[in-house]
Structure 1
């Protein structure tokens, strides 16, 4: 694998496929994540297959099958051999599983959610993680205990919920399906949100109106995922209107809208900031990946072509000049310079 390079427009424009990891014709990939060291990548498939990839050699070194549950959301923990993941199969078991790759054993089950989990994120430094669910709740968990250490009721069951930590883990944002992003102090979240960012703010509404009209979108605008920029200055919202909204993370003011990537059905697709926060990679429903300048909002170069269908998830490696994406297979992208 290539040594880390500075993130410039020229470098980002040169990204091309560096590795292809074949999938299975009867199952689709659902998730991808990198360990914080940048040395290990893990992927999940709808049939319950979890693969681990060495990012230095570019080779897969572990494959395990959890067919009983299927895997929907997958995250590395602080230990490179341990994962947390949620099930995909439609069942009454919506526990989060703490899984050891080393000996393929479940270390712990985290029970409490009564419907599908919609967000799963590890705390950047502590042994904690957060979840949201279609049961209408947000929860924080200590990885050493099977019961959640805190819960927020976020409205009616069935609403779209998502959440994310900032890069220090001191703040998290929660979208509660009512058109508002709420910001919480992670240490005192039971005190309630310290800020609320409504999507029906006049500035946002006016800016979105011509784009939504052009796309003939007349439904309720919902947020499907949240991402804080690495410098914690911005909050990126992926929406069911097939566009990205970037807000000021302190005041909730609209900074820019990214709408050049095709997403006709407004489905949840992969989106990730580059490690320095200068660029945004966003999956599209036609299998391409669009690169945006995070500051100007302009698309960088032409879309990357490689997948045959919508890019369900993508992540930038936190330590290496490497982008991973998934659909039917897993692709690694690197600069070709």
Structure 2
């Protein structure tokens, strides 16, 4: 496996790899390139791919944004946000523009242009730490959640939020693939609320209650909800946690389809309800924020995530679950912990990170 930005990276994705079935390559993923941070005390807190799959943006707790060219396997650019900090960095539908949450000074969401290294717009309104940013799949609108118990809807063309919901503990939100439904998760309320995008100011059209599931499957140690995501086919809604596993729900009735169990527990990252931490935590307490350590494959058949051990876990969520709903994972060996995980939307490529950023590709010698 190549290491560092100065060595050759993985070859460009071969012809057909973008459309190759995930099921044919999922167990063949192997680390192809590793990028090390300048300091062992630096952690990646979020990552995202652009729509083309050619670029990956990484936010680190040294207050920098890092851009990587994934097809060349090379580091492309670095941007500093020393004054405001950076977390939950997301590409807009234009790869030269990124939105991200502040971790210092205030709780403004910033719209940043990598073309000229300047801020295009500021989205002000939240009065406490932003916990989730989700871009609409079909337009330049996005949702944000924060510890101020508000969920806000925005348009990238305007600095003013276009809508707001006051919901206690609603720290996670996402759009469904058709961009007609917003799912909002409140763990203190033990529920996920589904809203029609056109009538978000009305009562939710569905509510999924998870308290009983949590008690049965997460055990006495519990776990914080860390990410909310629909599968691309719209059939499932995944609630990731920091605990012993993740909930894969039927997106229509909220029933539990799979509990994606990880026997060694979570990655140790802080959940969204935590305040912005200080670096260099002591007493073995994790100091880094995260964005959830799971990703769903584009075909909706597999859930990929991290655990307390190095490497990746892969759950097949396309099969009928066992009677107890516990779905066990296959382990893919890797060089470090996968505390942040992303799946390239165009190519069969994974990105994982803890301290290092690792790009994964299928090994053609062991593919099915």
Q: Is the 8 A contact 2:218 2:244 kept in 1?
A: no
How far apart are residue 301 of structure 1 and its match? Answer: 3.5
Alpha-carbon distance change, 223 to 212 in structure 1, aligned in 2, over 3 angstroms: closer
| Secondary structure class of the residue paired with 1:13 | helix
Q: Is the 8 A contact 1:167 1:231 kept in 2?
A: yes
Q: Which residue in 2 is equivalent to 1:104?
A: 117
How far apart are residue 238 of structure 1 and its match? Answer: 1.1
Does 2:304 correspond to 1:277?
no
Query: 35-44 or 292-301: which moved more?
Result: 292-301
Q: Which residue in 2 is equivalent to 1:318?
A: 345
How far apart are residue 160 of structure 1 and its match? Answer: 5.6
Query: What TM-score comes out, normalization by structure 1 length?
Result: 0.89
Distance in structure 1 (CA, Å) of the matches to 2:67 and 2:269? 30
Query: What TM-score comes out, normalization by structure 2 length?
Result: 0.82
Q: Which residue in 2 is equivalent to 1:292?
A: 315
Distance in structure 2 (CA, Å) of the matches to 1:299 and 1:226? 20
Q: Which residue in 1 is equivalent to 2:33?
A: 19
Does 2:175 correspond to 1:145?
no
Q: Which residue in 2 is equivalent to 1:304?
A: 333
Does 2:200 correspond to 1:189?
yes
How far apart are residue 299 of structure 1 and its match? Answer: 4.4
Alpha-carbon distance change, 71 to 286 in structure 1, aligned in 2, over 3 angstroms: farther
How far apart are residue 161 of structure 1 and its match? Answer: 1.5
How far apart are residue 240 of structure 1 and its match? Answer: 4.1
How far apart are residue 266 of structure 1 and its match? Answer: 7.7
Alpha-carbon distance change, 77 to 41 in structure 1, aligned in 2, over 3 angstroms: same
Alpha-carbon distance change, 68 to 286 in structure 1, aligned in 2, over 3 angstroms: farther
Query: 59-68 or 298-307: which moved more?
Result: 298-307
Q: Is the 8 A contact 2:269 2:339 kept in 1?
A: no
| Secondary structure class of the residue paired with 1:73 | strand
Distance in structure 2 (CA, Å) of the matches to 1:24 and 1:261? 32
Give unpaired runs (5+ residues) of structure 1: none
Alpha-carbon distance change, 22 to 240 in structure 1, aligned in 2, over 3 angstroms: closer
State the Cα RMSD in Å.
1.9
Q: Is the 8 A contact 2:261 2:329 kept in 1?
A: no
Alpha-carbon distance change, 43 to 13 in structure 1, aligned in 2, over 3 angstroms: same
Q: Which residue in 2 is equivalent to 1:32?
A: 47
Q: Which residue in 1 is equivalent to 2:363?
A: 336
Distance in structure 2 (CA, Å) of the matches to 1:212 and 1:47? 33
Q: How many residues align?
A: 321
| Secondary structure class of the residue paired with 1:187 | helix
- Stretches (4+) displaced over 3 A: 7-10, 264-269, 296-301
Q: Which residue in 1 is equivalent to 2:274?
A: none
How far apart are residue 111 of structure 1 and its match? Answer: 0.3
Does 2:361 correspond to 1:327?
no
How far apart are residue 302 of structure 1 and its match? Answer: 2.2
| Secondary structure class of the residue paired with 1:276 | coil
| Equivalent of 1:198 in 202, 209, 214 | 209
Alpha-carbon distance change, 212 to 28 in structure 1, aligned in 2, over 3 angstroms: closer
Distance in structure 1 (CA, Å) of the matches to 2:95 and 2:173? 23
